Every structure is written in C-alpha cells, then in structure tokens.
Amino acid sequence: MTKRFKKLSWLITCLLLLSMALIGCSSDSDKQTKSASGEAVTKKGGDLHVAIDAQPPTLDPQISTTTATKEIARHIFETLLVLNPDYEVQPMLAESYDVSEDGLTYTFKLRQGVKFHNGKEMTAEDVVASMNRWLTKSTRAANAIGKGQFEEVDKYTVQLKIEKPTIGVLDVIASTNQFAGIMPKEIIDNAPKDGITEIVGTGPFKFVEWKPDQYIKVAKYDDYKPVDAPSDGLAGKKEALVDNIIFEVVTDGSTRLGGITTGQYQIAYQIPSDNYEQISSSSDMKPILNLYGGLSFVFNKKQGPFTDEKLRQAVNTGINNKDVLIGAFGNKKFYRLDNGLMYKDQKKWYTDAGKEYYNQNDKEKAKQLLSESGYKGEEIRILTTRDYEYSYNSAVVMKEELEKIGIKVKLDVVDWATLTSKRNDPAAWDAFITGFSPVSLPTQTLPLDPNYAGWPADEKLQQFTEQIRTAASDKDAYAKWEEMQEYAWKEYVPYIKIGDYYTFHVYRNNEIKGNTYFEGMILWNTSLTK
Amino acid sequence: MKSYILKRILSLIPVLLIVSIVVFMIIHLTPGDPAAVILGPEASHEDVKQLQEELGLNDPVYQQYFHWVEGVFQGNLGDSFFMDKPVTEAILEHLGPTISLAILSQITAILIALPLGIMAARKRGTATDQTFMGLSLLGISIPHFLFGLFLIIILAINLRWLPVAGYKPLSAGFWEHIKYLIMPAIALGTGQAALIARMTRSSMVETLNLNFIKTARSKGLHERKVIYKHTLRNAFIPILTVIGQTFGTLVAGAAVTETVFNIPGIGQLIINSVERRDYMVIQGTVLMVTLTYVLINLLVDLLYGVIDPRVRLKKES
Amino acid sequence: MEVAVEKRRELSDFRRDINRERRRLFVRRFFSNKLTVTGSVIILLTLLVTLLGPLLSSYTPYEMVVTSRLKAPSADHLFGTDNLGRDLFARVVYGARASMGVGLSVAIITSVLGMIIGLYSAYYKVLDHVLMRICDGLMAFPAILLAIALMAALGTKIDNVIIALAAVFTPYVARVVRSAALVVREQTYIEAMKAQGASSMRIIWGHIAPNTLSPLIVYSTFIFADAIIIEAGLSFLGVGVPAPDPSWGNILFDGKLVIFNAWWMTFFPGVAIILSVLGLNLFGDGLRDLLDPHTNHAKK
C-alpha cells in the first residue's frame, strides 16, 4: 500500500469514526431527554410535531370529504354548531339556536366579537356566505336540508328556511366531515372552484405555511375567543397551549412508527395495527384506538350478476366475517363484529335489527341460495386498492370466501384515484370494498343512497328513507330505521357491512398531555410537558 | 465548438417535444382524475363531474396540450390542482432534498469506487481483482430500494443508530439534515460506486498498458507517482463520463428509494402526482427532469472535449 | 467432378473441424471464468425453482390461515408466514414465476423489436432520423418513472407490466443493434451487394443481422436483469404484478408495512431478487468477454 493510499484510508476511517461518534452522541442525548422528562411539568408554548398519514388535497373543509382535510382544518375553522362525544349538538360560533314551531325556520344567534385570523370580525354576512356555499358543496347537507337557504336577519343573527320539516338539520350542520367551516365572505367570493386559496378561519390556530409533501404549519391565534363552557369533545372552551402545530406529511406507516418511537413526533396518526402490542407495552407511548368506520362490501346493483338479490344473499350467508376482519386488521382490538349500519357508539340510532342474517358463515345454505340464483359461473370483479391496505387485504380474503361457495372471483387492484372514477361506471365492476365513516343520520348512509356507486335504487329502501326523513318524532324515525336495517340485511342486501374497524393513533404520553379524540384528533387544550 | 454546442442544443428540441407528447398521452389515457381526488372518497358523482368541468378537464386533449405548450413557452408550467401553487414553485420545493441526496450519494460513490477501482487495476488478474469486481457486480445487482430496506432493518430497527426514514432540511441543522440522508445515500451510492469502480478499473488498465506509462516505470519513477499522477489523470475522462451519467440518473431515477425513505424529492413528487392525477405537476416535472438529464449529458460531453482535444476534433469532423 | 466433391468434402470437414475447435475453445474459456460459471449455475438454479415450484412446497401461495399471521421462519414454514398467514416460502418460490417470467418475456420482446427497429434505422437514413429521435425521447425518461406512468395508464396486470417494460427498454436495444449494424453497413462487401442489386431484405436479414447478434445477446441478458429489478420496483410501489399473485416485489410491498415485526418478509424475496439479478449480470459479463475481443484485451 502506498503512503498516499494509506493517508486516504486514514481519512476515510477517521470520517467513519467521527460519524459513528456523532450518531452515538445523538442517541445518548435522546436517552437523557427521556429520563429527564420522567416528571411531567406543563410547558407553555413550544412546537407540537404531528405525523399525519396523508397530504390533504385542500384545507378547504367545505369541499373535500378527505380525512386529512378534516383533521387539520378543524383546528383552523369552526362551525356554528358542534357535537360533543355523545353526538349531541352544542353551540360553537352560534351563541344559541332556535327552531320554529312548524320546523321550517332555524334561527341562529351569533357570538359577538369573534375575529377571523385576518382581524376582521365575524358577522352574519360571512356566516350566510359560508353556509350557503357549503349547502351547494356538501351532498349530505343538500340531502338533509334540501333547497333551504340561509339569510341574514341582522348583524348577529342568521336564519335558515327550509321547505318541509325534516329531522337532523342541526346534526348535519354540526357534522365533522366536510364540515361547514365559517370563513370570511370576501374569501368565498374570490374562491376558485377547487377550493379557497386563503386559509382564514376563526379557530384557535391560524394557518401559517404549507410545504407540499412535507408539512403544514399552524400557529396559535392570539386573539382567539373561547366559548364560555367547559371543554367537551369538539364543544366548549378551546385554548391553544402550544405555539405551533406542525403536521408532517408522512405517508409511510413504518416511518411514522419509527418517528414516534424515537421521539421525532409527539403524535403519529394511523400506525399499522401489527405494531399495537409493541406500542402498548412501551412506557412512553400510548395508543388511541378510534372507531374509523364500517368495512363494507358494496354490490353493483345496476349491472352484472349482483343485480340478482339471491346472489347477494348467498354472499352474505356464506362469508365468515371474522376471517375477513382478521385478514384486514390482524389484531382483534381493531375490529368489532357488529351489524349496526349506524354504529354502536351512536346511541341515538344504533340498532341490531337483522343480526340473525349477519356473519352466518353458512357455506351450505349459501350454496343453496347460489343454486336458486341466476348465477351462471361468471367471473365477479372485485374492485380494490392497495392505497388502503385493509381494503386490499380484505378483498383477498373475500375472494377466498366467495370461491369456497363456488363463485369465481377476479380482483381488480387499482390505485385510489382510478378506483374513485371506475366505481362510477356500472359496467366496470361487480363489487368493491371500502370503509364508511360514521354519519350523523341514517338517511346519510352513503351505500343506501340510490345515486352512490352501487346504485341501490330500490323502491322500498327509498320509501323507508323518506319516512325517516319526514318522521313526526325521533322515536318514529328510529322505529322506521330499525325496519329499514332489518330489510337491508334480510332481503335487499345493498351491501354487506363486514364489521366495524378501528385504527390507532399514538402519542408520547411523557411529552404531551390534554389531547383528546372525537372523530379525529383534538389538539387544542394540548400542551407539551417537560 | 460553438456550432457543435448549438447543434446539440437544437437536437434537444425534438426530444423534448416527444417527451411532452408521450407524457400527455399517457396521462390522459390514465383513468381517474384530479377532481375526484380533491373531493375525497365520499363525494358524489355529480360534484366530481361539476369540478371536472370547472377545471377544464373536459376539453379535448389536443386543446389542453396546445394550451399547455403555449404556457411553457411563456415560462409558465401551469398550476397544481392539488397544492394551490404554480408547478415551478412545487418543483423548487422538492428540488432541495433531491439535490442534497444526489450530492451525498455521489460523494459516497466516489469514495468507495476510486480506491477500489484503482486497487483492482493495479492488481489486475489476481484474486483481489476478481473479488473486487465480483463485489462491484453485486453492487450493481442489488436494487437501490432493496438495499435501502436492508439498511433500515439493520441500522434503524435493530441497531437504532439512524432514523427509519424522513427528511429534515438543512435549516434544521447540518447533522439533523445528514442523519436522514445517510442510509439513502449509501443505498444509492453503492450502486453508482459499482459502475464507477468498474469504469475506473478498465480505464486504468487500458492506460497502464500504454507505452508512456511503461516508459515512466522504466525511468524508475515511484509507483505511487505513476499511478496517481500519470495513469489516473489520463484515465480520468471515461471515469468522469460515468460519474456525470450516474449523477443524471440520481436526479430522478431515485424515485423508489425516495419513497422508501420518505424523502420529499422530485421522484416522490412525480409518484405522488401520478397517484393524485395532478396532471400539471406530472407534465412540468417530467419536462424539467428530462431537460436536466439531457443537459447533464451534454455538459459531460462538452467537458470531455475541454479535457481531451482529440474528442473535440473527432466530434467536429 | 469427383475431385470437386472430394475437395468440397474436405473443405466442409475442415470447416466442421474449425467450428468444433471454436466451440471447444469457447466452452473451455467459458468454464475457465469462475464468475461466469457461478452466474450460469445461479440462473439454472433459479430457472429450476421457477419450473419446479409446485413440487418444492407443500403449501400453495394463496392458502391463508389468518390466525397464523406473521410467524417467524420455522421447520413448518421455512421462510415464515406473511401478513395474511400465507406460507412465505411458497410465495417466494411461486413469485419466481412472475419475476423471472416478466424478465424473460421483456428480454425476448425487446430483442425482437429492438432488432427490427435497430436494423431498419441503420439501413434507411430517413427512418433513422425519425426512429432515433423517438428513442432519444423515450430514453430521456428515467426508466422507472416511465414505467410507473405507463402502469398507471394501462392498469395493473402482468401483461401490462411486460408491455410497459418492453416500451421502456426497446429503445436501448435498438440503439445497440443500430450501432453494431452501422459498422457492418459501411463495409465494402455490403456496398458491393447493393451494387449487384441484392434486395435490401436479404442484405439486412442475411448479412447485417447476424453480425449484430452477439452484442444483442449480451445486452438482452442485462435487460433481463434490469427488467427483474424494475418489476420489483413497480410491484413494490403497488403498480406492478397484481395481487394476490406473488411476485418478489409484491411480497416486498407487503413486507414494508410490517418491516418492524417481520424482517423475513423483506429478507427472503430480497435475496431472491439479488441472486437472480447477480446471476444474470455475471453471465452477461462473462458472455461479453467471450464474444467481444476488445474487453478481453483490457482484462489481461
């Protein structure tokens, strides 16, 4: 070896040693902060790092039904009404509300002195502009409210007039997905069609910066005026206790897990369920299990083999729901066998009507039904995507299950964007698998909507929907809903709710406190501890 | 020389034209559209249709193409459907991580490749040579992303030396920045190193056989001097070419590795944009990447000429 | 007459002897290079596994036992089980079919297409300009990105993987064939044939094409290897071979999600990819040394 070469290799060795030493140092210091944070002391301010699993397409809560949009936008925008953890309607930007005797006029008194992040005071004109825009954007709103319109009464009062009385108007206004965030009128007037460009709301955090595919930063809004009521879910007092929240877009599950384990983030959304045991056995991390929705197998009832009711019944009779759920979610903490099309947690609407038709796992009876049906051995195309791993995994198990009862299956695995457009074409698929998040009214259940992919244009179903919508009382509506659900399981089978599923978020319990969860993470009243 | 450069630059125009047409065709053949992605999973079909109309997605494809080309000539690559900003801005934001990673990988590659290549050339034919060349072939045979996954399992999950994945900009501190790039840089750099090492070896071997080296040796010059001063310098042009080419591929060819390590670079921007059907971003980024790629190749060719006049003469004739 | 036949026989004997001798030399040199032999052995083994797959495992790659998910390697499950409780050994072995199959098909298709395009553009100047600009355009894309975009457009199907990869690699092959063909085209005997009025068909396929074969064979070995890598990359991103059919990249995709819990899901398919690609590269390298005297010279 020549001298020069020796020198070079020395240099490389030194560099390597140096870098190793640096690595060593950094992990040492990690350990130190861990031990030092043993006793939790609340700290004012600081930055909260949150790893979110997907980049939102927009921060405009009124136009997108995406979860990522909701999760971030709820810290920036507020609604007239909100839900508490028992799904009860509470006032937020409205100080009070009132429904007329005939059920046709809803009056909202606004809180005074609420300021937008741009310094302008929120008044009736902003609320009217926001709410009317939302009515045109949200299908659910249009569904429940129909052709209703908001009008300004005076500077701090607005009124909603609807054509015929219906249940659930207030629940829809308070709903959390594609929510009715209030924003300044000028911004709405200038908004392009694919969403507002200026993110200005009234919430405890104001929008600062969005670096695509990297992070979205929101900061404490100093002039925020909390409502004078104890904090309860989305309702009550909100206070920003950290200076900034940085939502880091980390699309890969194992990266989020790695980051939360090493303390790079204080909160990580949607950790792969196989890591649940690892997290729950750790002393500095806590999992938050949350109901995400119902895993559902949606039939195409407009075209193809599944237009045959008997065939749909055969599938429902034959499958082992539990196996599908294990395949999709693994750990039994992550699924719940339950046939309620409204969820068990939604006490007001939950019913187990038709449960004898759920999870029968009766292959013989299924074969019987199959032979009675018009099925002639056609290949069933199940549309699924790997962008949502549970959808794909459950499709794989469903394929197995269907083949056991003698139905031929082909999986059509596409990416999410393709799936959303393909499912609108009745000729392109026979069934698809997706999750449906909870909705506030049974009439908003998407797979029961005759216009939604799958097209359950069944007269009887529509009758039920209409009866629930115009029921004289909540009790009558509930009774009708029980009947409707029974009918859905027993006869028509528009889709199979395979089961409820949960996802889990993780937070570092020795670094933050006060964070709660209701249909999404709530990060106000959350502080760093040190 | 000038006319040569001019000719080369002019010859880029049809290439770029073809690239843009191919991309445009592919994109519009792809099912799915940005409107559905923006509105989310539970949006109704009518809403999606309405937004499509409003975004101009229902215009004939050729019309959209000409509209876009017109913009490009005015230096406007259009706006992202998804990110509320011009495409150029989106590209610039994603350029930093990619460049950092490319530089670091290239340094890793050169640090590994040159010593190995030189050693192998000096001991050509021996067991050392065969071992080194076998190793370099192994380096070429491991897909970058796979090597990355192996590194994650060993260095991040078992030893916990490095973060699993992610990215911090340089503004977060030098070490913070480097820490996240070590594994991807090794993963990418090793493959590049193999290519460079092989070229170094064969170029060195060829030069070592030349008469002037034999003369230098016979004059009793120190072996070290022979190797580094005379041989390496004269063998450097092909080596430089490979370095240049590998650098070109690093800018966008690292897409899968960027995904493995969750680095928000150009490669990931393209992959994400394909997923989101963010047409404008795909078109703009691919155009930029192609341009960079061919420009780097052009630059390498020109450097070639600067270093070695023989090449220049040959090319001009 | 007699004499002429005799002579001819002698000549053909002589030729046969030369050919035999050549072959013997080729074989000897082939086997004298350890790396090449290693490469060939690896490829043969992989092909064997690909063909005999079903006999090697008592499990099928689709059989799920959801209750035995993510089991570490054991005597029962040699490579462990995956996230749906399927036997990983069976999946890796069956995966060889998809991965090797795609690689081989792509190598063959690109050779045929590349040869046609390369030969004709070497022969006809006008065609050359058009075809080579298109090739330049396609080659200016990084291969993986073009493949991703094509897969998004075509949809995930194994046929489409082959189509996309063929589209990606054909320009490279065409380039190689073209440059080899250009050298031949300039030779005087081709000019002479042209002058004699030989059909271009005969010149191209009878005289130019055979001379491009050896670089083509070497190059398609590398295409085979590259196609395996890119297929793995595509499937790893979820746009390659459609599930639930196993391919090595597909298994890696599933493995990435559980990389913290199940190293075996990354390790075994990973090793399979490396081995097969390494085998092909070793083989191709050796073949090139054998067929191309220039690199031989450099090696000595």
Tell me: do A84 and A197 sit in the same domain.
yes
For residues A410 and A383, membership in a common domain is answered with yes
Q: Do residue A65 and residue B41 have CB atoms under 8 angstroms apart? A: yes
Residues A300 and A429 in one domain: yes
Q: With respect to residue A325, please indicate whether it lies within any of the assigned structural domains.
A: yes
Residue B7 distance to chain A (closest CA, Å): 38
pLDDT digits (tens, 9 = 90+) for A154-166: 999 999 999 888 8
Distances (CA, A) of B295 to A341, B106, B292: 59, 18, 5
The CATH number of whichever domain residue A443 belongs to comes to 3.10.105.10
User: A320 and A406, same structural domain?
Assistant: yes
Q: Say if residue A53's pLDDT is above 60.
A: yes
Instruction: Please answer yes or no on whether C278 and B30 come within 8 Å at the CB atom.
Output: no
Range B56-74 average pLDDT: 86
Can you read off the two tokens belonging to residue C223? 């295409």
Mean pLDDT for A347-376 is 92
Q: Total domain count for chain C? A: 1
pLDDT recorded at residue A266: 94
Same domain, A357 and A451: yes
Asked if residue A15 belongs to a domain, the reply is no
Mutation pick from C34, C99, C131, C145 vs chain B, by most beta carbons of B within 10 Å, is C145
Nearest CA in chain B to C273: B142
Domain range holding A157? Answer: 47-266+511-528
Interatomic CA distance for residues C294 and A146, integer angstroms? 81
pTM: 0.79
Same structural domain for residues A473 and A519? no
Average pLDDT, chain A: 87
Cis peptide, bond prior to residue A57, ω within 30 of zero: no
What is the percent of chain A with per-residue pLDDT over 70, rounded to a whole number?
92
Question: Which DSSP state fits C87?
Answer: B
As beta bridge partners, residue A499 has A295
User: Tens digits of per-residue pLDDT, B103-114?
Assistant: 999 999 999 998
In a domain, B71, yes or no: no
> In the prediction, which pLDDT does A157 show?
96
By CA distance, what is B18's nearest residue in C?
Answer: C137
Q: What is the pLDDT of residues A75-126, one digit of tens each?
A: 999 999 999 888 889 999 999 999 998 889 999 999 999 999 999 999 999 9
Distance to chain A for B4, nearest Cα, Å: 40
Q: Which residue of A has its CA nearest to C262?
A: A274
CATH of the domain at A54: 3.40.190.10
**Shared-domain flag, residues A102 and A251:** yes
Domain count, chain B: 1
Q: Is A321 on the interface with C (CB under 8 A)?
A: no
Evaluate whether residue A498 is within a structural domain: yes
The number of beta carbons lying within 10 Å of the beta carbon of residue C259 is 25
d(CA A133, CA A131): 5
Both A92 and A205 in one domain: the answer is yes
User: Considering only CB atoms, which chain C residues are within 8 Å of B271?
Assistant: 148, 237
Could A413 and C69 be called an inter-chain contact, meaning their C-beta atoms sit closer than 8 Å?
no
Integer Cα distance of A182 and A305 in angstroms? 46
Among the partner-chain residues B36, B46, B111, the one whose CB lies closest to the CB of A417 is: B36
Candidates A272, A397, A418; nearest CB to C258: A272
pLDDT in tens, A217-270: 999 999 998 998 999 989 999 999 999 999 998 888 888 888 888 888 999 998
The whole-number average pLDDT for the span B90-118 is 91
Can you give the CATH number for the domain in which B241 is found? 1.10.3720.10
Average predicted confidence (pLDDT) for chain B: 83
Q: Which residues pair with A293 in a beta bridge?
A: A501
Q: Is residue C5 part of a domain?
A: no
What is the DSSP pairing of strand A47-52 with strand A244-249? parallel
Find the range with the poorest average confidence among B44-58, B200-214, B295-309, C152-166: B295-309
pLDDT band (50, 70, 90) for residue A403? very high
Nearest C-alpha of chain B: how many angstroms from A61? 10
Q: Is the pLDDT of residue B316 over 60?
A: no
Q: Do A194 and B272 touch (CB under 8 A)?
A: no
Question: Contact at 8 Å (CB) between A205 and A524?
Answer: yes
Residue A16 has pLDDT above 60, yes or no: no
Instruction: Please give the pLDDT value at position A28.
Output: 38
* Residue predicted with more confidence, A227 or A42: A227
* Three-state SS annotation for B173-200: CHHHHHHHHHHHHHHHHHHHHHHHHHHH
Q: Which residue of A has its CA nearest to B224?
A: A2
Q: Average pLDDT by consecutive 10-residue portion of chain C (300 residues)?
A: 61 78 78 81 90 80 77 84 85 90 95 94 88 84 84 86 93 91 85 85 88 89 93 88 85 86 91 93 85 48
**pLDDT for residue A300:** 95
C-alpha span between A522 and A290 (Å, rounded): 13
The predicted structure's pLDDT at residue C2: 53
All partners of chain B with 3 or more CB pairs under 8 angstroms: A, C
Is the distance from CB of A468 to CB of A169 less than 8 angstroms?
A: no
Q: Does A417 contact B83 at a Cβ distance shorter than 8 Å?
A: no
Instruction: Verify that A498 and A515 share a domain, yes or no.
Output: no
Residue B53 resides in a domain = no
pLDDT at C195: 84
Considering Cα of A253, then A255, then A261, then A266, what sign does the dihedral take?
negative
Give pLDDT tens digits for A377-398. Answer: 999 999 998 888 888 889 999 9
Q: Is residue C139 part of a domain?
A: yes
Higher pLDDT, A252 or A19: A252
Q: Are residues A243 and A362 in the same domain?
A: no
Query: Inter-chain contact A212–B33, Cβ cutoff 8 Å?
Result: no
CB B20 within 8 A of CB B283: yes
Domains held by chain A: number: 2
For C238, the 3-state DSSP assignment is coil
* A194–B38 CB contact, under 8 Å: yes
Alpha-carbon distance A397 to nearest alpha carbon in chain C (angstroms): 8
Interface test with C, best of B21, B149, B279 (most C CBs within 10 A): B149
Residue B32 contacts A where some CB pair is shorter than 8 Å:
yes
Average pLDDT on B223-248 reads 78
Contact yes or no for C149 and B26 at CB 8 A? yes
Instruction: Give the pLDDT of residue A26.
Output: 40
Q: Is residue B221 part of a domain?
A: yes
Specify whether A518 is located in the same domain as A386: no
Q: Which two three-digit tokens encode residue B11?
A: 């010859």
Q: Model confidence over A441-455: pLDDT tens digits?
A: 888 888 998 888 899
Query: Quick check: is B307 in a domain?
Result: yes
Instruction: Tell whether B29 is covered by a domain.
Output: no
Do the chains contact at C266 and B149, CB–CB below 8 Å? yes
State the residue range of the domain holding C210. 105-289
Domain assignment present for B47 = no
Asked, for residue A348, whether it belongs to a domain, the answer is: yes
Distance from CA of C152 to the nearest CA of A (A): 8
C-alpha B292/C-alpha B286 separation (Å) is 10
Interface check for A514 against chain C (CB to CB < 8 A): the answer is no
Q: Which domain holds residue B195?
A: 91-316
Choose among A69, A193, A255: nearest Cβ to B165. Answer: A255
Cβ distance of A417 and B275 shorter than 8 Å: yes
Q: Which other chains touch chain C, taking contact as 3+ CB pairs less than 8 Å apart?
A: A, B
The CATH number of whichever domain residue C170 belongs to comes to: 1.10.3720.10
Q: What is the mean pLDDT of residues B88-108?
A: 91
ipTM: 0.83
